[in-house]
Structure 1
Amino acid sequence: MNRWAYISIAAGAALWGTIGLFVQELYRLGLTPLQVVALRVSCAVIFLVSYAFVINRQWLRIHIKDSPIFIGTGVISVVFFNWCFFIAIQETSISVAAILLYTAPAFVLLLSRILFKEPLTARKLVSLALTLSGCMLVVELLPNGLITMTTFGILAGIASGLFYGLYSIFGKFALKIYHPITVTTYTFIFATIFILPVSQIWTWAAYLSDLKIWLYAASLGLFPTVLAFIFYTKGLGQVEAGKASIVATLEPVVAAFIGMLFYAEVLQVWQYIGVILVIISVIAVQNISITKFNKKSKMDQSV
């Protein structure tokens, strides 16, 4: 069962890595980052609510007292992660912003230790170090190095990593109470309620008459959003939050290959090395869980 949970998380991360395909086209059509975020979460809500309404309406029921959890997953995580990430890109560079975003596993490992008492083992720390090193190579922060960064940009990038990582924390609490579809649906409902007024949708309604915008927005809302979060959240219910966050760092690896295949971006030797490091770290984390599962099964059989 754990193996399928890891596969589910990896599938979600791979779908997240396709975001650039749709976002780039929406940018070319004149939308701003904030508008793209608003369209992304809004389309996600339409897909999720429709799916839940047809398959199981019970998934649409939550207790009002649990709203703070979904404010956590939807507003504090999804909305603020995107906002801080875009600021970091503007203030520093895409490469630096991506690396700072993937400080998320470090935050998750530490918070998981405090909140869930998950052990902070040497193997987890080694896997985390391999992941971060691999990401640095993939986005070319290494070995090129010297990049001028503003303090505001660095803080925004670190904040994006924190907010991104908090989805695993809030999601862990939510999954103790609700079905993964319920968690994902209300994450985006709360995100949409917050982002639409902030994005001032009434000022850019003219864009919405363009069929191409709706095509790309629907694709963005379905593949790297709804399906990605469903896969990730479902896997998160059976895997430690810290390990899930490390596995999810497959996203920048997929994004690098997307750039190579669709935008003729050629990977350098060190980028391939980075890809290999990330894959090794994912395999290492998965093997920890499989080994523990096998030991537990043998103990159960001997009883």
Structure 2
Amino acid sequence: MKKFIFLFPVISGILWGSAGIFVRTLTKMNMNSYTIVESRVILAVLILGAGIYLYDKSLLKIKLKDVWVFLGGGILGIFGLNVCYNIAIEELTLSLSAVLLSLSPLFVLILAAIIFREKITSRKILCMIMAIVGCILASGVLESSSGMEWSVYGIAVGTMGAIFYAMYSIFTKLAIQRGYGPLTITFYCLLTVFIVLIPLTDWNVIASSISSSPINMSIFMVVHALCTSVLPYVMYTVSLDYIEAGKASILASGEPIAAMIFGIIFYSEIPTLISLTGLFLVICAITLLSAQPEKKYKEINVNS
């Protein structure tokens, strides 16, 4: 497990990057952003809940004094991230929204240094810069800046999305320190999101979409839940039990790159040389971060 644990956040980033495929399809069915998120979260809660109950129902037990950790991970993490990201997409271009989201490792490193006293090393800084620059290049921002749609509000909300993304790492790390496993953490964080979204969801649209093609839509929504909620959040949370929060966030920062690759496969969105250069930088950052022992690099302790 430890030998391959660095792949977990990387795979999580790839799976999160696939969200655009499902979102584009469901948007055509007149689902708003809240309804799209709820359609996958409700299935994710059911799948995880049933799986945990059959595997070891004791994992569903939590202490009342720790409820705030799961509320934080759900509301300030998953829910806040999805809402801000959806607003940013409405205000900005998709590429700029993805770039702002890719800033999350910066906030994770800062928050983890303050809360967990994780050391900020020269290698982490280098990998963070490489990953962010790579995401910027791959997004196409530099190639379309002349006609880019943007607003101060959109940039502010998009940046908040990155902060909420970072908060999920922090709250799950706190839950791990309290002895909870990845399945328990992911389940209760998603359950929180499900409850919060109940009054914001257009249930009639979900019902009509399923009734129009019961078998195909049911399979589509289950795959949507597995690829964008269950598997990535479980794998990312598992990695936090072995990897520092800042490092895990950097390893998962290839989400915009994954989105670019899915765009090539499903929508014939051919990347430019600059975009491919960005992809190469992110791969280099991930390789450098996971291949070399931390102790060989100079440490910068921000708490001293």
TM-score of the two chains, using structure 1 as the length reference: 0.91
Match of 2:182 in 1: 180
Give, as a single letter, the amino acid of the residue that structure 2 aligns with 1:156: V
Indicate whether 1:236 and 2:237 are aligned.
no
Q: Which moved more, 1:254-263 or 1:6-15?
A: 6-15
Give, in whole Å, the separation in 2 of the partners of 1:203 and 1:247.
Answer: 36
TM superposition shift of 1:168: 0.7
Q: Cα deviation per residue 1:114-143 (whole Å; 9 max; x = unaligned)?
A: 001111122211111111110011111124
Of 19-28 and 1-10, more deviation after overlay is shown by: 1-10
- The one-letter code of the counterpart of 2:249 is S
In 1, distance between residues paired with 2:261 and 2:12?
16
1:215 CA displacement: 2.9
Return the alpha-carbon distance in structure 2 between the equivalents of residues 106 and 187 of structure 1. 23
Counterpart for residue 275 of structure 1 = 279
Residue matched to 1:170 = 171
Q: Equivalent residue of 1:4, what SS?
A: coil
AA at the equivalent of 2:4 = W
| DSSP 3-state at the match of 1:168 | helix
Q: Please give the alpha-carbon distance, in whole angstroms, between the structure 1 residues aligned to 2:115 and 2:7.
A: 25
Question: Map of 1:5-44 to 2, 5 A cutoff?
Answer: 5-44=5-44
CA deviations over 1:86-135 (Å, ceiling 9, x no partner): 11111111111111111111100100110011111222111111111100
> In the alignment, which residue of structure 2 is the partner of 1:145?
145
Shift, 1:145, TM fit: 3.0
Matched, 1:286 2:290: yes
Q: Matched residue of 2:6: which SS?
A: helix
8 Å CA contact 2:18–2:259 kept in 1: the answer is: yes
8 Å Cα contact 2:93-2:149 kept in structure 1 = no
| Contact 1:22/1:219 (8 A) holds in 2 | no
Whichever residue aligns with residue 120 of structure 1, its letter is I
Q: Which residue of 1 aligns with 2:60?
A: 60
1:190 matched to 2:181? The reply is no
In the superposition, relative to structure 1, how do residues 242 and 235 fare at CA in structure 2: closer, same or farther (>3 Å)? same
| Length-normalised TM-score, structure 2 | 0.91
| Alpha-carbon shift at residue 202 of structure 1 (Å) | 6.0
Q: Is 162-171 or 147-156 further displaced after alignment?
A: 147-156
Shift of 1:208: 4.3
Q: 27-36 or 198-207, which moves further after superposition?
A: 198-207
1:247-303 residue CA offsets vs partner (Å, 9 max, x unmatched)? 001222111111101111101111110001001111111134x4549xxxxxxxxxx
Deviation at 1:199, TM superposition (A): 2.3
**Contact kept? 2:74, 2:189, Cα under 8 Å:** yes
User: Which range moves more in the overlay, 210-219 or 24-33?
Assistant: 210-219
Change (3 A) 1:6 1:35: same
Q: Secondary structure at the match of 2:142?
A: coil
Shift of 1:203: 7.5
The aligned length equals 292
Letter in 2 for 1:166: M
Q: SS of 1:3's equivalent?
A: coil
**Distance between the aligned counterparts of 1:3 and 1:204, measured in 2?**
42
Structure 1 residue runs of 5 or longer lacking an equivalent are 294-303
What's the % identity of the aligned pairs? 32
